[in-house]
Structure 1
Amino acid sequence: MAIKNLLASLLLAAPVALAHPGHHEKVYAHSALPLERKSLAHCSAEFSKPEFIKRTVEIHGEELARLKRSLGLEAEETPKLRPRDYISVSRIDHKSSKAVSKGMDLSTLFSDAGACMLMPAVDQGPLYVQGEEIRKNITNGEKGIPLTLAIQVVDYKTCQTVPNAYVDIWSSNSTGIYVGVQGYPGMGDPKDASILKGTTLRGVQPTNDHGVASFDSLFPGHYDGRATHIHAIVYLGATKQPQHTITGGRAAHIGQLYFDQSLITAVDKVTPYSSNKMKITQNTADFLFMQGANGDDPIVRYAMVGPNLSDGLFAWIRFGINQQANKAVNPAAWWTDKGGVMNPKGPVSQLTGGGTGGWGGWGKKRAAVEPVEDEE
């Protein structure tokens, strides 16, 4: 597989707005970055090394084999890649029709790791909970389509993988609801304090010696105003605590990842996703997707674990990060040994008015929020 040509075509995108609500918000752009900051072409040689590919294949292959064994299956499928702008990216089918059999060369599946993204100007959105537990399975028994997500973290300057980082992800459930944050319009009863006890689809994982962290999650549901997505923060220098959380360190990467529109359409026909009546926002109508996909491809590569969508998905992507970056994080809430606690100076505290679809007056108040800055 011509991985060198594939990876040389990957460019880094720089979304420059708040993760929610997607529209009605003021954009805080960073100063222009040197061109070399927006390309990982110089990494193609490193990513093409047989040992690099071999190790990536082994890690992803073990995950895929684990999922297939749980279903008593042995076959799979793979993804594709093209040069990109946000329209062309939205038209790529990230799932291949190639049959995968036991004993095949998995490098044909995993050598294309998807996007290599450096996102220097996007904050974490209004529904981030800091202090979630280190755990691989973040489903909490919730119903939905199983999704195992593998994220590989690499240094965009050295092209080397980043071990011992912590990847923190969070997303909505199958019906488009985030748990863990109280009072955000459209995300449950704002007076229901029990929402703060929720940790579903929130969790942290360390990267291994090849820079890979993986989660057993669920495919997220859609909601009004945003394309279907998963949030991620990469922490460096954090300390693992006895209660299986992390403290300290710095956020070197804040980003979002997306899915094929055709896959989202198929998922929305499956129970319980089909009960979600909120308006669907297409990838190409989402401002942050446009920013991320103009020059890069923030859509995950994926394969079906079994013959049916309900059997689950295995997805993977690569993040290129600046290890010297120190991005501002202002969580909506903190997870503590006594449960969730709202941040009195967090994003939700800046809301004015109510509303549905998860926005309310967020956009009106956004102008008061300080822009996120890179610190190098």
Structure 2
Amino acid sequence: MVNFSKTLFAAAAAILATQVVGHPAHNIAQEIAERNQFLKNSARRDLSHCASFLDKRGAEDTSTKRREEAIAKARAERGLPLKRGKVVRRDATDESHLSSLDVTPTTSGVEDTIFSNSSCLLSPEGESGPFYVQGEYIRSDITDAQPGVEIIMDLQFIDISTCLPIVDLIADVWHCNSTGVYGGVVSEGNGDATDTSNINATYLRG
């Protein structure tokens, strides 16, 4: 093992030496410096360094007010009260959640007892796609009358280098419908693969 390691090290050194000779004008020190500078500038991945600046600009208060107004408008358009009622939750801490069934592997009809109800089945986690479609409509409502629970999104993008809002930015959003099917795509694993009309669907994209 020791001899093999020494041989491997010698071979690696020979390969590196060959590469250096093959690129005599290549400055490794400069490359390392450029890489370190890039990593240094790319270290910021959040807005923690912008906190005081954003606080002085009142960014949080402005965002909160804008979102409250958006919520009020959405609830009014749907005939909902402007404020939610009191939420009452049942206390289940004193209740027993143990089953009263006395079942063993030898119990008669045990398979029917376990597998007759298929309303909740564990399935392996998987990801279909990607089902991104380029060139969709520029719009703020992407529902296309699809049934389901609406989601209202309020997005805010801030440049981490300047701590200022990014203007003239368009966010591309796409999502499956309530049955898990993406519009604009005909593919195995995306609903009925024989339904070629789905290629022209634009729902939940924009």
Show the 5 A alignment for 1:68-147: 68-70=75-77, 71-76=79-84, 126-147=130-151
1:187 to 190, 201, 204: 190
For normalisation by structure 1, the TM-score amounts to 0.31
Compared CA separation, residues 189 and 68, structure 1 to 2 (3 A): closer
Partner of 1:196: 199
d(CA) in 1 for partners of 2:43 and 2:53?
A: 17
Partner of 2:64: 57
d(CA) in 2 for partners of 1:73 and 1:60?
A: 16
1:155 to 141, 155, 159: 159
d(CA) in 1 for partners of 2:39 and 2:193?
A: 41
Shift of 1:61: 2.0
Instruction: Find the residue that maps to 2:155 and give its secondary structure.
Output: strand
Question: Which structure has the highest strand share of the two?
Answer: 1
**Higher RCO, 1 vs 2 (CA within 8 Å, ≥6 residues apart):** 1
Shift of 1:56: 1.3
Shift of 1:138: 0.9
Shift of 1:66: 0.6
Amino acid across the alignment from 1:147:
I
CA contact (8 A) 2:136 2:202 kept: yes
Show the 5 A alignment for 1:16-55: 33-34=39-40, 36-49=43-56, 51-55=58-62
Compared CA separation, residues 66 and 162, structure 1 to 2 (3 A): same
Partner of 1:290: none
Partner of 1:251: none
**Across the two proteins, how many residue pairs are aligned to each other?**
126
2:73 to 62, 66, 73: 66
Partner of 2:169: 165
CA contact (8 A) 2:180 2:191 kept: no
CA contact (8 A) 2:148 2:178 kept: yes
Show the 5 A alignment for 1:286-305: none
d(CA) in 2 for partners of 1:33 and 1:199?
A: 40
Amino acid across the alignment from 1:179:
G
1:54-110 residue CA offsets vs partner (Å, 9 max, x unmatched) = 321232122111112122412159xxxxxxxxxxxxxxxxxxx8xxxxxxxxxxxxx
Amino acid across the alignment from 1:129:
V
Instruction: Find the residue that maps to 1:168 and give its secondary structure.
Output: coil
Gaps of 5+ in 2: 1-35, 88-128
Amino acid across the alignment from 2:169:
A
CA contact (8 A) 2:75 2:82 kept: yes
Bigger Rg, structure 1 or 2: 2
For normalisation by structure 2, the TM-score amounts to 0.54
Compared CA separation, residues 198 and 49, structure 1 to 2 (3 A): same
Shift of 1:127: 0.5
Shift of 1:193: 1.9
Instruction: Find the residue that maps to 2:76 and give its secondary structure.
Output: helix
User: Identity across aligned pairs (percent)?
Assistant: 33
d(CA) in 1 for partners of 2:58 and 2:45?
A: 26
Gaps of 5+ in 1: 1-30, 78-96, 98-124, 204-376
Question: Which structure has the highest helix share of the two?
Answer: 2
Please tell me whether residue 178 in structure 1 is matched to residue 175 in structure 2. Answer: no
Compared CA separation, residues 76 and 48, structure 1 to 2 (3 A): farther
d(CA) in 2 for partners of 1:161 and 1:137?
A: 23
Shift of 1:182: 1.5
Runs of 4+ in structure 1 over 4 Å off:
none
d(CA) in 1 for partners of 2:39 and 2:84?
A: 40
